[in-house]
Amino acid sequence: MERHITLGEFIIQNQKDFPYAKGELSALLSSIRLAGKMVNQEINKAGLANIIGAAGVENVQGEAQQKLDVLANDMFISTLRKRGEICGLASEEMEEHIVFNDEIHSNARYVVLIDPLDGSSNIDVNVSVGTIFSIFRRVSEPGTPVTLEDFLQPGHKQVAAGYLVYGTSTMLVYTTGNGVHGFTYDPGIGSFFLSHPNMRVKENGKIYSINEGNYVHMPEGVKKYIKWCQELDPATNRPLTSRYIGSLVADFHRNLLKGGIYIYPKGTKAPKGKLRLLYECNPMAFLIEQAGGKASDGHTRIMDILPTELHERVPFFCGSSEMVDQAEAFLREYQD
């Protein structure tokens, strides 16, 4: 029987792609893997333990935090702090970034931005959720405290990004700029095994993912694109199929495997869109581009946007390249 390679083995084998990293990046990815296994364990027993439902507080975005939001955030911070690979961390759940200020961490060369539990409101109804992470090399001098500028870098500066999806099976999907690779967790052994090497998204897909309940608040170009997707045209494989879970990781993962487009536009209820550039859009954009797809805000490449604040929001169009191109064409034609 063929022996499958583990995530740890894969990371070590591909360490040569980072001659400047001296093993820190590999160790950092291993830390994220460990924290993900811990969060996965808690999610799997969420129906039995008192960790589902709202925590009774709001995060910096003014959104109700779920109990597992807080738990996942604490687990990733604790796990990453115990290692010496990063000098600071920013989380969607916290207003300010964290400075790891002791001697070991202040000499580290990486920072992590993380959405600890994307789609957490779906846990109560047993729908797939996930963790999204993004890794940058710091721009400040090693040995000094990490600064805000270390986090406010454009997405094309990322050295690694990925997500864990906690679903019928748990997967870790990541890129370090050399393709996208997916690993499935075997709970019996306690290891992630390479199951989806060199993942590629179709140039054109049959799925569009958007919350059509917000239709009246959407830009005219997006409305026209949705109608175009729904029209019957056998020559262009339309009408398309609408699939929207409401968990970015789950929607993105499905479209990556099957081909499609994910859209969260701006609207009167969310003037700049709902998704966060640093914690959600940048890492997903890095992944989709490495898989042969495209990500934009409807006009500009996501990874070329220079962030100005930790919790900046942007419209998000991501997926199969031809579908994103078509959506952008409608936005150009019907400018608001």
Q: Are 58 and 69 in contact (CB under 8 A)?
A: no
Domain stop point among 130, 161, 196: 196
> Which tokens belong to 265?
């536009």
Q: Domain end: 137, 161, 196, which one? A: 196
Q: 124 labelled as ligand-binding? A: no
Rounded mean pLDDT of the chain?
Answer: 89
| CATH number for the domain that contains residue 92 | 3.30.540.10
Number of domain units in the chain: 2
Residues 245 and 189 in one domain: no
201, part of any domain: no
**53 annotated as ligand-binding:** no
**Residue 121 labelled as part of a binding site:** yes
The reply to whether 322 falls in a domain is yes
Neighbours of 13 (CB within 10 A): 11
| Annotated binding-site residue? 280 | yes
69 in a known ligand binding site? no
269 is in an annotated binding site: no
Q: Are residues 251 and 214 in the same domain?
A: yes
> Model confidence at 1, in pLDDT bands (50, 70, 90)?
very low
Residue 270 lies in a domain: yes
Is 110 known as a binding-site position?
no
The answer to the question of whether 246 is labelled as a binding residue is: no
Residues 39, 117: Cα–Cα separation, whole Å:
9
- 96 is annotated as contributing to ligand binding: no
- In this structure, the answer to whether residues 220 and 180 fall within a common structural domain is no
Q: Are 51 and 68 in contact (CB under 8 A)?
A: yes
Tokens of 196: 């989806």
117 is in an annotated binding site: yes
Q: Whole domain around residue 261: which residue ranges?
A: 207-333
Q: Does residue 284 lie within any of the structural domains?
A: yes
Residue 75, SS3 per DSSP: helix
Q: Say if residue 251 is in the same domain as residue 310.
A: yes
Per-residue DSSP letter, 279: I
Confirm whether residue 206 is marked as ligand binding: no
User: In the listed set 147, 176, 196, which residue is the last one of a domain according to the structure?
Assistant: 196
pLDDT tens string 82-125: 888 899 999 999 999 999 877 778 888 999 999 999 887 777 77
Q: Tens of pLDDT along 287-331?
A: 999 999 999 999 999 999 999 999 999 999 999 999 999 999 999
pLDDT beyond 60 at 60:
no
CATH of the domain at 240: 3.40.190.80
